[in-house]
Chain A
Amino acid sequence: SQTIHQWPATLVQPVGSPLSLECTVEGTSNPNLYWYRQAAGRGLQLLFYSVGIGQISSEVPQNLSASRPQDRQFILSSKKLLLSDSGFYLCAWSSWGGRSGTEAFFGQGTRLTVV
Chain B
Amino acid sequence: DAKTTQPTSMDCAEGRAANLPCNHSTISGNEYVYWYRQIHSQGPQYIIHGLKNNETNEMASLIITEDRKSSTLILPHATLRDTAVYYCIVRPTGTASKLTFGTGTRLQVTL
Contacts and interface: CB of A to CB of B under 8 A. Distances in A.
Interface string B4-43: 0000000000000000000000000000101010100111
Interface residues of B, number: 28
Contacts, number: 69
A95 B91 CA distance: 13
B93 A98 contact: yes
Contacts of B34: 101, 103
B78 to A, nearest CB: 22
A92 B43 contact: yes
Majority secondary structure, A binding face: strand
Interface residues of A, number: 29
A102 B42 CA distance: 21
Interface string B41-63: 11111100111000000000000
B81 interface: no
17 contacts: A32-B97, A43-B103, A49-B98, A51-B96, A57-B98, A90-B43, A92-B99, A97-B94, A97-B96, A98-B94, A101-B32, A101-B49, A101-B50, A103-B46, A104-B46, A104-B99, A106-B44
